Structure 1
C-alpha cells in the first residue's frame, strides 16, 4: 500500500519502490502476550535497525503497534488515509449475545478490560497468531469468540468477517486503523518524498491520540482507548483508561486546534490524577 501510494504520487513506474520484508520479534513469538516479552518494541526494533544502518529508506508500521516514544534519529514522516478504526467481534452477533461465561480470545489488555467492564462473566483467553491461526483456534472451539481490528481484516480481504463494535461501546487503541511511514530524521530527500503521501487529517488525529498515550506513560499492560476525529481544523478527542479487570474506568474528552497536542497531554495527566489506585498503578506517570 505504501509503495503503491508513493509510485502514484510521484508518477513513478510500478515496482520503482522496492519492498523489503523484515520478520520482527512480534511475528516470531506467538505463544505469549507481547507485554510479557518486550512490548511494542517487538514490532519495530528490527525495522529501526535496518533503517538506521541505511539498509532501507523507510519503515511501514501499523500505528497502534508503535511505541509512543521513538528514537530522535527517526521521524514519522507520513500516514496513509485511515481505515475503519473499530474492532470486529467474531463468533457472536454482539457482546450481549455471548453466552454466560463465554471464552473470548485476545492478547490485548484494552480489549480484555473493555469486555470485562461490559460483561464481567466472560473468561479472557490469551490469543495470539496471524488471522488464519486465530480463526482456526476459534473453529476448533478453543474460544467462543475473538476480537480483531476491522482495518487489518479489510487489508487481508476479510472485511466481512464478524460484526463491527461501535466506538461508543469500545474505543479503539491509539493509532488503530492507521499506517505510518517512518524514515531517518536527517534523510531530507526521503522526508520530502514521503510528504507527498501524507494524509493530514489522519496524521493530526493519530498524533493527538499518541500524545495522550505518551503522557500517560503506560506500557502494553495498560488498557487505553483513544479516538480523535478532525473537523474544520479542530480535534475532537475521546479517551478512556481502565483497570485490568474493567471494574474501574475513567473517560473524558477534549476539543482543541489541530497541532495543539499539549491539550491531549494535559487531559491524560488530569485523568490520572483523578483515577483510582487500580488504574494509576498501571501507568508510570501515575
Structure 2
C-alpha cells in the first residue's frame, strides 16, 4: 500500500518550503512516496492589514485547509504557533515534530544604546508587543508583516532600532544575523518552535504514516500550551505566552496574559506530573481568568473591535 503518493501541501515562503521538505525527507526515509504542492496563502498576499484585523483565525492555514478539503493535497505542514486551536471539521493533528528553539530574538542594527532610552521596535505580534512595552514602556512598537524574508528586508530598509523574530524560523533557513540578542525574558507563543502536520480525519494511510514522525514530549508540551491559549482567548486574539518544558520527573509550565499596552500582566507558574497533563493547561488558564483575566480579556475584545 506504499504506492499512494502523499501530496504535501505548503505555503510557498522559504521557511514553509523548508518545513515541507523536512517532513518529505522523513517520510521518504520511511519508504513513502511524496510530492510537494505549494499554495499561495492570503496571509502572504494581504500585507496592509494587521492579522488580527482580518478577523480570520489561521489566515496562514486557511488556504491549505481548503486545498485539503478539496482533495488537492493530502497533508499540510505548519508552524504550530500559526495554527488555530480549533482545527476545521474533518482535519486532524497527525504529528508534532520534535521542537526546535523556543526563544524570541531581537534583531538589531548593531547598536543597543536605545534599550536605555527611546526606541522603535517592529513586530506584528500582540504578544511580543505587550511584553516589549511591559519591559520598555517608553519605546514605540510598529507593525511588521510578511514572511521571515520580507520582514528581515523591511527591517534593513527602515529606521527602526530592531525587530522581534522567533529564533527557530531564522535558524531553519540560515537567516539568523550576527546582530541579535536572545529575549529569554519573553514568554514565547504557545507551540513556538514546533511544526505540526495535519491530515484528513478519514485518511488512515496518511495518519498511520505521520504517526511515525510524532515526538511525544513535544506533543504533550504543545498540548498544554495550546489548551491554555484556547481556554483564555475563546476565539479572540490576545497577548498570550505559554511554555511547557519536561524535566526528569515533571512538566514545568509558565503562562502569561498581558494587556495590549503591556501595563497589566497576569502570570502563572506551575508544574504537573506526566500522567496529569490532560486538563492542566485549561486549569492554569482558568486560574488566570478567575484572578482578573476575564475582565482583561473583555477589555481586549473591545479594544480590538475599535
TM-score (norm. length: structure 2) = 0.84
Match of 1:19 among 15, 36, 52: 36
Query: C-alpha distance in 1, partners of 2:71/2:124?
Result: 33
Structure 2: which 5+ runs fail to align? 1-21
Write the deviation string for residues 130-174 of structure 1: whole angstroms up to 9, x where unpaired: 33332333223331110011011011112344434343x101000
Structure 1: which 5+ runs fail to align? none
Tell me the CA shift for residue 181 of structure 1: 0.1
Question: Whose helix proportion is higher, 1 or 2?
Answer: 2
Write the mapping of 1:73-92 to structure 2, written as runs, cut at 5 A. 73-91=90-108
Report the equivalent of 2:75: 58
Query: C-alpha distance in 1, partners of 2:240/2:110?
Result: 25
Write the deviation string for residues 165-219 of structure 1: whole angstroms up to 9, x where unpaired: 343x101000111110000111111111001111111111111100110111345
Report the equivalent of 1:255: 271
Root-mean-square deviation (CA), in Å? Answer: 2.2
Query: C-alpha distance in 2, partners of 1:19/1:220?
Result: 33
Query: C-alpha distance in 2, partners of 1:105/1:208?
Result: 29
Match of 1:7 among 28, 39, 46: 28
Query: C-alpha distance in 2, partners of 1:11/1:234?
Result: 36
Q: Residues 186 and 233 from structure 1, CA distance in 2 versus in 1: closer, same or farther, beyond 3 angstroms?
A: farther
Query: C-alpha distance in 1, partners of 2:112/2:202?
Result: 48
CA contact (8 A) 1:218 1:283 kept: no
Report the equivalent of 1:281: 299
Stretch deviating more after TM superposition (228-237 or 205-214) = 228-237
Match of 1:128 among 132, 135, 145: 145
Query: C-alpha distance in 1, partners of 2:112/2:201?
Result: 44
Secondary structure at 1:71 match in 2: coil
Report the equivalent of 1:210: 226
Secondary structure at 1:56 match in 2: coil
Q: Residues 132 and 264 from structure 1, CA distance in 2 versus in 1: closer, same or farther, beyond 3 angstroms?
A: closer
Query: C-alpha distance in 2, partners of 1:91/1:26?
Result: 25
Tell me the CA shift for residue 264 of structure 1: 1.1
CA contact (8 A) 2:190 2:229 kept: yes
Query: C-alpha distance in 2, partners of 1:152/1:79?
Result: 16
Stretch deviating more after TM superposition (175-184 or 94-103) = 94-103
Query: C-alpha distance in 1, partners of 2:46/2:90?
Result: 27
Q: Give the count of matched residue pairs.
A: 279
CA contact (8 A) 2:77 2:196 kept: yes
Query: C-alpha distance in 2, partners of 1:101/1:166?
Result: 18
Write the deviation string for residues 15-47 of structure 1: whole angstroms up to 9, x where unpaired: x31011111111111122100013442111111
